[in-house]
Every structure is written in structure tokens, then in C-alpha cells.
Amino acid sequence: DQNWLVESYVRAYLLYLLATFLVVVTMLSWALLVKDPCVTADGLHSEMSKTYGSAFSCGMIRIGAYLFVAFTVLPQTYALWCVWSFCEDLRVGIHSPELSSLMIGQDAVFVKNPQEPLKQSMRNAQYGAVPVGGEHPIFGSEHETNYPPGPMY
């Protein structure tokens, strides 16, 4: 079983991804959150201040910086979680198809499990009816499809 070999490569990639994530988060946080974004983006701030005023433009730049950091960090966090989860699957021994099975021209392998006995017994039952005390449906055998419904008796 060469599962440990694949896991070691994926774990190495996970460490690389974590290192790049930490570098990106550190640089973005320093440039856009720790330092004042209005000072960092001075050219944008001075151009916006001519039209909208200094306070409004600085506020918009700060909001934009917070959103930029959030929308940059969240996908990277999700990617880290996906790779870590795959590493855990490999560690536990869950074998999935290899990536080479996704190549064009490869036949997909589908394993069909036999259906549960309950599903097979319900297949022959009347549609929309739950068998109670035999083969009789709960709501009768006729359904009113006219609106408004006619008299019940």
C-alpha cells in the first residue's frame, strides 16, 4: 500500500500552503490593518479627497481594506481546510479515486450498492401512500384536483 507516500506529498503541500497563507495574512494585515490604510493608499486617498472630502474617502478606503483582507483570507482558509481534510482522510485510510481518473478518456467506475429492502418494498406501494395495517393507503384512493374542492358528501 503506497497510501503513506501520497499522504507525505500532500502533507508537504499542506505545510507549503500554510506557510504562504501566513505570509499573505501577515503582509496584508500589516499593510492594510495595522498601518492606517489612508496613509498606505495615499494616492487614492488624495484623489478621492478632492471629490468626496477627506473623512468620507478615508472611511471608504478603510472599509475597502477590511473587505479586501476578508475576501482574500477566507478562500485561502477554505483551501487550507480542504487540504487538511484530505490529509486526514488519507491518514485514516479512506481511499478515493486518484486524480488521474479525472483525465479525459478514462472510464469512470461506479459501484452500485443494492438498494435497502425498505426501499424495494416501498417501490411497489401506491404512490404517496404510507402502508398502515396492510395495503390500504391512509388518505383513500381518490384525490380531489379541482379548486375550490367540491362538497365532501
The sign of the torsion formed by the CA atoms of 145, 148, 152, 153 equals negative
Q: Specify the range with the lowest mean pLDDT, choosing from 19-23, 45-49, 82-86, 120-124.
A: 120-124
Tell me the pLDDT tens digit for each residue of 39-51. Answer: 888 888 888 888 8
pLDDT of 1-19, one tens digit each? 555 668 888 999 999 999 9
Q: How far apart are CA 56 and CA 33, in angstroms?
A: 18
55 vs 2, higher pLDDT = 55
pLDDT (0 to 100) of residue 103:
61
Q: How far is CA 28 from CA 22, 57, 61, in A?
A: 10, 20, 14
Q: Which residue has the higher pLDDT, 56 or 122?
A: 56
Residue 110, pLDDT > 50, answer no
Which amino acid type is present at position 148? P
Contact 133, 141 (CB under 8 A): no
Check residue 40 and report its DSSP letter. Answer: H
Percent of the chain with pLDDT over 70: 63
60: enclosing H helix or E strand: helix 54-92
Does the pTM surpass 0.85? The reply is no
**Residue 109 pLDDT grade (very low, low, confident, very high; cuts 50, 70, 90):** very low
Interatomic CA distance for residues 76 and 25, integer angstroms: 10
What pLDDT does 133 receive? 53
